[in-house]
């Protein structure tokens, strides 16, 4: 087997996740083992390979502690199709709302997009060359037409006596190509025949069960009818705009969409990851008032997809047997045991994520590759300003974030965004006008800006 992202060892996977997510070692270990098991399954004997089911995971923890980020980074590391959905958006089959099978259809569309972009990267140079040839033809057309209108010579007479006018491109084709590549012709205007991409119908159905997918399929069918879609129209465009359109057209011609769909279906079935957020919102005691279409009904509909079934899409059937499902929820009111037993059994790995404390906020502000302090420094760098934070300032910011979480709703690391915005509000507004190009935020600046806000309880709830 070839080496790739999926062949990373669990320790390497955790190390990569550590670059972006602070703490939560148990959750990182669980997803690292789940990803490694995919590679192990591919190495298993053929007669056992299909029998080895993915070990789905439930993450339990308050909002803002890294549940979604762990799943998203894992999918990016594995280069796998990934979709995040909120379980509370779905309803039982037969009722108004999205049905759970749309999760798999959307996942396949994401996989097709991934494979198409990879194919395009491989043929990008060829598509650019073909687009350039078409542009040169369009640019030389006026000169050729002017030459055709001029009945005086010179003429080329062949050995058979055929009289031909010389090709306009042959005279200055090399110089025109050089000018085109140098960008000197970007503002020239060419007339280009482009396909009419307007949709035949704006809306067909309301948002009923399955109507979103049915509407897309009906539009696709109507698009195949001659005269309904695909008509050509002439447009005058600048060369720089025409180049992009022509490159897209040539790329579409070079990409084998049938091969793309086959590859996307295989990736979805063998490597797809579905992150089911807010799964605690569909858990709870059985309703005594009638059918609970947004809770137990959704669980019953999710069960066959999670345990393995076939979902029909417009690109082909998708088997969900080996798709990895990662569920997550705060479970403040409900508990995992409130899910129907059959669904519980399909999530054998349960991981509890810990609430974030002050020391975690300090690490979040400084350690990750995409730390907030680095993000704000980069934003101010666009204004030509050097922004930095002292260690004492970072400690103070973390303290305010932890205090705000204790006094109000605990929103985890997301609290740091509100605190940082309140802290840097004045600087963000006045940065273009400041003479001082180097700004160092210390603890005194943090206390001066945030203490009055935190002291006013109503204001703190509104701002922080």
**pLDDT, tens digit, 9 for 90 and up, residues 244-281:** 888 888 888 888 899 999 999 999 999 899 999 988 88
Please provide the average confidence, as pLDDT, over all residues in the chain.
80
Q: What is the pLDDT of residue 146?
A: 46
Q: What angle do CA 135, 140, 142 make, to 5 degrees?
A: 120
CATH architecture assigned to 358-463: Orthogonal Bundle (1.10)
Contacts of 213 (CB under 8 A, 6+ apart): 102, 105, 314
- Say what percent of the chain tops pLDDT 70: 79
In this model, does residue 141 exceed pLDDT 80? no
Q: Which of 20-24, 97-101, 311-315, 350-354 has the weakest average pLDDT?
A: 97-101
User: Which helix (H) or strand (E) covers residue 424, if one does?
Assistant: none
Q: What is the mean pLDDT of residues 363-382?
A: 90
Higher pLDDT, 227 or 254: 254
Q: What is the mean pLDDT of residues 218-239?
A: 64
> Start-end ranges of CATH 3.40.50.300 in the chain?
5-110+262-352
Q: What is the pLDDT of residue 171?
A: 45
Q: Which of 58-67, 165-174, 198-207, 360-369 has the weakest average pLDDT?
A: 198-207
Sign, CA dihedral 278-281-285-289, equals negative
Q: What is the pLDDT of residue 320?
A: 93
Higher pLDDT, 134 or 286: 134
Q: What is the pLDDT of residue 197?
A: 53
> Nearest to residue 64, comparing CAs of 462, 446, 353, 449?
353
As to burial, measured by CB atoms within 10 angstroms (0-12 exposed, 13-18 middle, 19+ buried), residue 82 is: buried
Provide Rg for the chain, Cα atoms. 30
In this model, does residue 170 exceed pLDDT 60? no
- 376 strand-pairing partners: none
* The token pair that represents 15 in the structure block: 């190390």
Among all chains, which residue has been given the structure tokens 């129209």? 233
> Start-end ranges of CATH 1.10.8.60 in the chain?
358-463
CATH dotted code for 5-110+262-352: 3.40.50.300
pLDDT, tens digit, for every residue of 328-342? 988 888 888 888 888
Q: Do the beta carbons of residue 338 and residue 287 sit within 8 Å?
A: no
Q: What is the pLDDT of residue 234?
A: 76
CA dist., res. 179 & res. 182, Å (int): 5
How many CB atoms lie under 10 A from the CB of residue 197? Answer: 9
- List the beta strands (DSSP E) in 306-345: 310-313, 316-319, 324-329
Q: What is the mean pLDDT of residues 285-302?
A: 66
* The token pair that represents 98 in the structure block: 């999205």
pLDDT, tens digit, for every residue of 42-87? 888 988 888 888 889 999 988 888 888 898 888 888 888 999 988 8
In this model, does residue 145 exceed pLDDT 70? no
In this model, does residue 169 exceed pLDDT 50? no
As to burial, measured by CB atoms within 10 angstroms (0-12 exposed, 13-18 middle, 19+ buried), residue 160 is: exposed
* The token pair that represents 2 in the structure block: 């070839």
Q: What is the pLDDT of residue 243?
A: 80
Tell me how far the alpha carbon of residue 31 is from its chain's centroid. 20
Percent helix, strand and coil across the chain, each to the nearest 5: 55, 15, 30
Higher pLDDT, 92 or 390: 390
In this model, does residue 321 exceed pLDDT 80? yes
Q: Which of 129-143, 299-313, 396-410, 416-430 has the weakest average pLDDT?
A: 129-143
In this model, does residue 219 exceed pLDDT 70? no
């Amino acid at each position: 087997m070839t080496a790739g992202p999926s062949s990373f060892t669990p320790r390497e996977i955790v190390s990569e996740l550590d670059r972006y997510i602070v703490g939560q070692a148990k959750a990182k270990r669980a997803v690292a083992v789940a990803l490694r098991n995919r590679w192990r399954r591919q190495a298993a004997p053929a007669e056992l390979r299909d029998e080895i089911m993915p070990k789905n995971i439930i993450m339990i923890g308050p909002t803002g502690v890294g549940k979604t980020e762990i799943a998203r980074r894992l999918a990016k590391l594995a280069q796998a199709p990934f979709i995040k959905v909120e379980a509370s958006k779905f309803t039982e089959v037969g009722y108004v709302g999205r049905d759970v099978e749309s999760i798999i259809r959307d996942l396949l569309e994401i996989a097709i997009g991934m494979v198409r972009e990879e194919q395009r990267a491989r043929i990008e140079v060829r598509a650019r060359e073909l687009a350039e040839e078409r542009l040169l033809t369009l640019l030389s057309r006026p000169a050729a037409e002017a030459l055709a209108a001029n009945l005086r010579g010179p003429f080329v007479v062949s050995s058979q006596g055929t009289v031909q006018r010389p090709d306009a491109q042959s005279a200055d084709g090399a110089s025109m190509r050089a000018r085109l590549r140098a960008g000197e012709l970007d503002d020239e205007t060419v007339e280009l025949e482009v396909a009419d991409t307007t949709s035949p119908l704006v809306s067909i159905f309301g948002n009923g069960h399955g109507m979103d997918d049915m509407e897309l399929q009906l539009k696709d069918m109507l698009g195949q009818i001659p005269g309904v879609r695909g008509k050509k129209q002439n447009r005058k465009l600048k060369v720089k705009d025409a180049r992009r359109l022509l490159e897209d057209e040539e790329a579409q011609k070079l990409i084998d969409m049938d091969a793309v769909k086959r590859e996307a279906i295989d990736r979805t079935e063998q490597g797809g990851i579905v992150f089911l957020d807010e799964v605690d919102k569909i858990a709870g005691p059985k309703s005594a008032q009638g059918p609970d279409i947004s809770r137990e009904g959704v669980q019953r509909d999710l069960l066959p997809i999670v345990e393995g079934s076939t979902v029909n899409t417009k690109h082909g059937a998708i088997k969900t047997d080996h798709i990895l499902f990662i569920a997550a929820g705060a479970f403040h009111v409900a508990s995992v045991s409130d899910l129907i037993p059959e669904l519980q059994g399909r999530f054998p790995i349960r991981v509890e994520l810990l609430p974030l404390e002050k020391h975690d906020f300090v690490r979040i502000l400084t350690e990750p590759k995409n730390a907030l302090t680095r993000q704000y420094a980069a934003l101010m760098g666009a204004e030509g300003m050097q922004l930095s934070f002292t260690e004492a300032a970072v400690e103070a910011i973390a303290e305010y974030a932890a205090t705000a979480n204790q006094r109000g709703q605990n929103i985890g690391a997301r609290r740091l965004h509100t605190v940082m915005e309140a802290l840097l509000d004045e600087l963000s507004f006045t940065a273009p006008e400041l003479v001082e190009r180097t700004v160092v935020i210390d603890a005194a600046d943090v206390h001066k800006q945030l203490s009055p806000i935190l002291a006013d309880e109503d204001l703190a709830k509104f701002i922080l």
